[in-house]
């Protein structure tokens, strides 16, 4: 099992390095002078030239890459053109908000999609199943930003149930920062009003992000359950008189979850990607919104940092998903060991 | 005739599919007495497994039992409630599936699966301790002639050989089979030598415990040394029923005759003959005798009316108009 | 030299029959065809063709849906329905261009990688694919678009650049498993060239999944294009792109909801159409099983 993890880790590191090269090359493709951009059009030429030397911009590309990696690993990600601060500072400030949002969405996906899918599969062709099938089919086709806008319209404006902007209402006192997750921080400091307020603000964007994956996972779970219900090993378990609850929650669930969890990786990818749009719509102060601003303003250092962070989050999520699948399906673990 | 352990009468089972209705079982009948060993032979797809699944009430969701009765120990199985059914499954009847690899849940250890079955089958009155359950599980594996039962309990199905998996399935059935054991082609997916071992094991178990058996098989040889009464099935119909000796010495249904002729013999010459044609499609099947399209002796009537089972004495019945008229 | 036996390609008449019997796929086909027709003939059938580009008519601005303007008008007085119809052009163009680039490139790479499995070639190709797939696709597209000048063309290039690995992976998995099938080795022994092996033996067996994926992908490519324009990194105003329309209209919620919502709904419709169609295509190729 540990060789499995090690292999995955080294492979991930390799891929992330490749990604860094890719994004680095892309960033340097932009015509125009980063030093000039940083100092502005009115700075004297000698100042610009000095900065160019400092940023190693006159050296060949691979040397620049080397300097960049060295700096990045020690936490120096350059300065943001937009905020005029260290990109690292910006990242530390904005990343937790996005992580909190994505984590909540992921939790929503698991907690909603799996039971719905299993129930629909168990009661195949009932009215419940038919409703689930139609809704999930449509749900997959609706892009996250459309959902976000519709939610905003319906819940935010028309019904005025959930607030639509930001992480906390202006009247609530924010808890001291420990993790950056408003929910956890307010629980730690015992600030219950802040906790509820944070949750309420998280719901609309979280649900908007989660709806597509919920539909997808519910579909997969449902069809997996329907397929497995007819498998001999389930029929055999039934024929031995094992009680229904045990059958469903243990013997049916585990094999049915394997395809579901396997797809989770892709769904997390879409959570990360769609966060860019949803954060924009809800004005959520997260790293994705920061990233979009950076992209619109061609803030290269920030763009590179944001893409790498997205890649790292995605990679970690994939490893976790793979571990869970390996736990569910022993065949994978043992084949790895034999190989 | 003493009350039969299992009495199936006039069973009609259909399956609803996208294209229409598959009329699979067409008036199937079957009876098994206490400690009686009964065999069913027939081609793939003729409905043997479907019949067994109907008896065990584990049919697919799109199956419809159109008519017929199944009486087990006098109880009407088809209209039984869920709880009652489960009780029967746990304490009385049990089935060994055709493919042991498919019959074992691939993501759980053998021990978990077996112990859960044991927990609900063996200990009906009080809740057992973990140790008791495990001991019983080991005992069952030993009864199925498995070496190193402890190691097997901790293994996953894919780590065992085909023969071992089949024995595990047998062990599982032993937990709940007190009266009736259904064995669906127990050796088909295994090597011939392993198949032989398995059949011997089954024979021994059945003798020791005085079980009734329904043995389904492709292999005429396996069936011959094992069962006392044989049914021949074709396209969802019971075409012939007879005590084993009688069937082999005096097969009367045209299908049975062809079937027995198709088995290669070690002694006696000739290349075995096949039977021309194929099993008809259950979707478009007609009301007449289902073998009529392949039967050399088919008459006018055979294509329009389905023959009932005619009794020709000696416990021998045949569904063919050659042997009777209604 | 005789061609080795391969699984037969779809029998088209039988497949069409199966396809049309499944009414959902027919609906999908209908939707897609409708979108295509509207896109192609937009200048002739749109009620106010001049509204597609730069156009201002302030007295008519912000009209809610009525008989003159079925979907209402936007903040500049432009007819929303017309702009949506023209928007279809950009959406379809995106799908067509991206897929025409990505599918041949990705498929060939996948075939080669699968055929030469275990060699350096395979390693290079698949590792490159892995790197491009290391980041959620939208993120990569966004960043590529951000370093270039935002435009429809650049958006198409960006999406193509990050889409090809999906086809490579798909074809690679089929190709590498078929590599060791008897019929492929038989042809090899008979002296077939790698070119023949790849394109005449292996490729036909990949067609089903490739075509299915292409159909489904058309919808997703359009979606990513709309997302890019939504953010402002794709089509630029006054181009009537569906994504731009949604984002422009967002600032007028909730009072003038139609400016944003109708384009959004059409995006959903397009994706649904392609999904239904894609399922039908998949079933068509799955017609092999009894």
Residue of A nearest to C139 (CA): A273
Residue C7 clears pLDDT 50, i.e. is over it: no
Cβ neighbours of A129 in B, within 8 Å: none
Residue C2 clears pLDDT 70, i.e. is over it: no
pLDDT of residue C5: 41
Best residue in A140, A262, A295, A304 for a mutation probing chain C (most C CBs within 10 Å): A295
pLDDT of residue A211: 92
Contacts with C, A 183-212, CB within 8 Å: none
Q: Where does the pLDDT of residue C232 fall: very low under 50, low under 70, confident under 90, or very high at 90 and above?
A: confident
The predicted model gives A176-205 an average pLDDT of 80
Residue of A nearest to C142 (CA): A295
CA distance C134 to C137: 9
Instruction: Test C264 with A29 for CB contact under 8 angstroms.
Output: no
The predicted model gives A146-166 an average pLDDT of 76
Instruction: Test A273 with C233 for CB contact under 8 angstroms.
Output: no
* 3 state DSSP class of A316: helix
Residue C195 clears pLDDT 90, i.e. is over it: no
Cβ neighbours of C135 in A, within 8 Å: 19, 307, 310-311, 314
CA distance A72 to B97: 60
DSSP code for B25 = E
Task: Tell whether A253 is within 8 A of chain C (Cβ).
Answer: no
Instruction: Test A149 with C226 for CB contact under 8 angstroms.
Output: no
CA distance B185 to B182: 10
pLDDT of residue A105: 93
Task: Tell whether A161 is within 8 A of chain C (Cβ).
Answer: no
Instruction: Test A239 with B89 for CB contact under 8 angstroms.
Output: yes
Residue C3 clears pLDDT 50, i.e. is over it: no
How large is the ipTM?
0.84
Cβ neighbours of B172 in A, within 8 Å: 236, 240
pLDDT of residue C8: 47
Cβ neighbours of B105 in A, within 8 Å: 233-234, 237, 251, 255
CA distance A113 to A132: 10
Which chains border C (3 or more CB–CB pairs < 8 Å)? A
Instruction: Test B89 with A241 for CB contact under 8 angstroms.
Output: yes
Residue C117 clears pLDDT 80, i.e. is over it: no
Question: How many percent of chain B have pLDDT more than 70?
Answer: 94
Contact assessment for residue C101 and residue C83, using Cβ atoms and an 8 Å cutoff: no
Residue of B nearest to A243 (CA): B86
Contact assessment for residue C68 and residue C77, using Cβ atoms and an 8 Å cutoff: no
Task: Tell whether C145 is within 8 A of chain A (Cβ).
Answer: yes
Q: Which of A235, A241, A331 sits opposite B158 (nearest CB)?
A: A331
Residue A31 clears pLDDT 80, i.e. is over it: no
Mean pLDDT of chain A: 83
Task: Tell whether C161 is within 8 A of chain A (Cβ).
Answer: no
Helix (H) or strand (E) holding B318: strand B317-318
Q: Where does the pLDDT of residue C290 fall: very low under 50, low under 70, confident under 90, or very high at 90 and above?
A: very low
Q: Which of B89, B103, B158 sits opposite A233 (nearest CB)?
A: B103
CA distance A223 to A216: 11
**Which pTM value belongs to this model?**
0.83
pLDDT of residue A106: 92
Residue A280 clears pLDDT 80, i.e. is over it: yes
Q: Which of B56, B106, B116 sits opposite A239 (nearest CB)?
A: B56
Best residue in A129, A223, A239, A325 for a mutation probing chain B (most B CBs within 10 Å): A239
Cβ neighbours of A276 in C, within 8 Å: 138-139, 142, 231
The predicted model gives C93-115 an average pLDDT of 90
Residue C237 clears pLDDT 60, i.e. is over it: yes
pLDDT digits (tens, 9 = 90+) for A252-278: 999 999 988 888 888 888 899 999 889
Smallest CA-to-CA distance from B237 within B17, B55, B12 is with B12
pLDDT of residue A209: 92
Cβ neighbours of A251 in B, within 8 Å: 105, 108, 113
Residue C11 clears pLDDT 60, i.e. is over it: no
Question: How many percent of chain B have pLDDT more than 90?
Answer: 15
pLDDT of residue A37: 66
pLDDT of residue C164: 92
Mean pLDDT of chain B: 85
The position carrying tokens 């029998």 is C11
b vs e for C12-44, b when ≥16 Cβ sit within 10 Å of the residue's Cβ? eeebeebbeebeebeebbebbeebeebbeebee
The position carrying tokens 């936007």 is C74
CA distance C54 to C46: 16
Best residue in B105, B157, B182, B185 for a mutation probing chain A (most A CBs within 10 Å): B105
pLDDT of residue C270: 92
pLDDT digits (tens, 9 = 90+) for B89-145: 888 888 999 888 899 999 999 999 998 888 888 776 677 788 888 888 898 898 888
Instruction: Test B107 with A235 for CB contact under 8 angstroms.
Output: no
Helix C258-285 / helix A127-141 crossing angle, nearest 10 deg:
110
The predicted model gives B205-230 an average pLDDT of 86
């Amino acid at each position: 099992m540990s060789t499995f993890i090690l292999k995955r880790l080294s492979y991930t590191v390799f891929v992330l390095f490749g990604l860094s090269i890719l994004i680095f090359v892309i960033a340097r493709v932009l015509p125009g002078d980063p030093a000039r951009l940083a100092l502005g059009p009115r700075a004297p030429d000698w100042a610009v030239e000095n900065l160019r030397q400092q940023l190693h911009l006159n050296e060949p590309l691979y040397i620049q890459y080397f300097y960049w990696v060295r700096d990045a690993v020690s936490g120096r990600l350059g300065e943001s053109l937009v905020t005029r601060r260290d990109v690292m500072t910006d990242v530390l400030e904005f990343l937790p908000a996005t992580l909190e949002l994505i984590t909540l969405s992921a939790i929503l996906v698991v907690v909603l999609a799996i039971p719905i899918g299993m129930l629909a599969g168990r009661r195949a062709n009932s009215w419940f199943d038919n409703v689930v099938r139609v809704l999930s089919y449509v749900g997959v086709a609706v892009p996250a930003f459309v959902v976000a806008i519709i939610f905003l319209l319906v819940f935010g404006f028309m019904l005025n149930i959930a607030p639509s902007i930001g992480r906390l209402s202006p009247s609530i006192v924010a808890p001291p920062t420990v993790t950056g997750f408003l929910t956890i921080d307010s629980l730690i400091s015992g600030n219950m009003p802040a906790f509820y307020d944070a949750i309420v603000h998280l719901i609309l964007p979280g649900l908007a992000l989660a709806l597509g994956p919920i539909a997808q996972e519910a579909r997969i779970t449902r069809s997996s359950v329907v397929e497995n219900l007819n498998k001999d090993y389930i029929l055999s378990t039934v024929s031995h008189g094992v009680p229904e609850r045990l059958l469903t929650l243990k013997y049916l669930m585990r094999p049915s979850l394997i395809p579901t969890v396997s797809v989770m990786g892709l769904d997390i990818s879409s959570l990360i990607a769609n966060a860019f749009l949803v954060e924009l719509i809800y004005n959520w102060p997260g790293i994705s919104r920061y990233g979009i601003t950076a992209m619109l303003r061609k803030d290269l250092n920030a763009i590179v940092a944001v893409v790498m962070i997205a890649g790292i989050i995605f990679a970690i999520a994939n490893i976790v998903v793979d571990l869970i699948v390996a736990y569910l399906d022993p065949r994978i673990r043992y084949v790895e060991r034999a190989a | 005739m003493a009350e039969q352990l299992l009495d199936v009468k006039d069973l009609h089972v259909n399956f609803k599919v996208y294209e229409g209705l598959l009329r699979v079982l067409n008036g199937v009948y079957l009876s098994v007495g206490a400690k009686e060993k009964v065999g069913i032979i027939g081609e793939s797809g003729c409905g043997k497994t479907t019949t067994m699944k109907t008896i065990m009430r584990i049919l697919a969701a799109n199956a419809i039992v159109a008519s017929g009765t199944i009486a087990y120990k006098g109880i009407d199985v088809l209209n039984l409630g869920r709880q009652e059914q489960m009780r029967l499954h746990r304490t009385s009847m049990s089935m060994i599936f055709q493919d042991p690899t498919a019959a074992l849940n691939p993501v759980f250890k053998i021990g978990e699966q077996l112990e859960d079955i044991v927990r609900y089958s063996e200990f009906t009155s009080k809740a057992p301790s973990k140790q008791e359950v495990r001991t019983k599980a080991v005992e069952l594996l030993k009864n199925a002639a498995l070496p190193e039962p402890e190691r097997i309990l901790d293994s996953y199905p894919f780590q065992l050989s085909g023969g071992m998996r089949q024995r595990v399935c047998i062990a599982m059935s032993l937990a709940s089979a007190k009266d009736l054991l259904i064995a669906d082609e127990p050796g088909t997916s295994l090597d011939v030598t392993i198949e032989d071992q398995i059949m011997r094991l089954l024979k021994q178990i059945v003798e020791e415990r005085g079980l009734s058996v329904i043995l389904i098989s492709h292999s005429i040889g396996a069936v011959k040394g094992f069962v006392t009464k044989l049914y021949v099935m074709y396209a969802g119909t019971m075409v012939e029923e007879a005590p084993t000796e009688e069937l082999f010495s005096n097969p009367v249904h045209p299908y049975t005759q062809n079937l027995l002729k198709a088995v290669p013999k070690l002694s006696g010459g000739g290349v075995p003959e096949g039977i021309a044609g194929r099993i008809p499609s259950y979707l478009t099947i007609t009301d007449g005798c289902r073998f009529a399209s392949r039967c050399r002796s088919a008459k006018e009537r055979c294509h329009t009316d389905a023959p009932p089972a005619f009794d020709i004495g000696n416990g021998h019945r045949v569904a063919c108009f050659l042997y009777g008229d209604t | 030299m005789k061609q080795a036996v391969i699984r037969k390609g779809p029998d088209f008449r039988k497949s069409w029959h199966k396809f049309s019997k499944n009414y959902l796929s027919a609906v999908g086909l209908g939707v897609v065809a409708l979108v295509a027709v509207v896109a192609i003939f937009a200048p002739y059938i749109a009620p106010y063709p001049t509204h597609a580009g730069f156009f201002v008519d302030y007295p008519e601005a912000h009209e809610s849906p009525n008989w003159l303007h079925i979907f209402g008008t936007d903040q500049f007085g432009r007819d929303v329905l017309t702009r949506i119809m023209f928007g279809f052009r950009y959406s379809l163009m995106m799908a067509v261009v991206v897929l025409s680039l990505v599918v041949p490139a990705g498929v060939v790479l996948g075939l080669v990688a699968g055929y030469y499995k275990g060699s350096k070639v395979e390693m290079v190709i698949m590792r490159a694919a892995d790197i491009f797939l290391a980041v959620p696709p939208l993120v990569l597209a966004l960043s590529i678009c951000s370093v270039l000048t935002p435009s429809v063309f650049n958006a198409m290039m960006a999406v193509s650049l990050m889409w090809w690995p999906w086809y490579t992976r798909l074809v690679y998995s089929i190709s590498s498993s078929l590599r060791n099938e008897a019929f492929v080795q038989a042809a090899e022994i008979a002296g077939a060239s790698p070119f023949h092996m790849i394109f005449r033996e292996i490729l036909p067996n990949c067609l089903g999944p490739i075509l299915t994926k292409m159909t489904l992908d058309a919808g997703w490519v359009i979606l990513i294009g709309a997302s890019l324009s939504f953010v402002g990194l794709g089509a630029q105003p006054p181009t009537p792109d569906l994504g731009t329309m949604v984002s422009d209209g967002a600032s007028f919620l909730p009072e003038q909801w139609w400016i944003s919502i109708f384009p959004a709904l059409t995006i959903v419709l397009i994706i649904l159409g392609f999904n239904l169609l894609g399922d039908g295509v998949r079933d068509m190729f799955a017609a092999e099983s009894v």
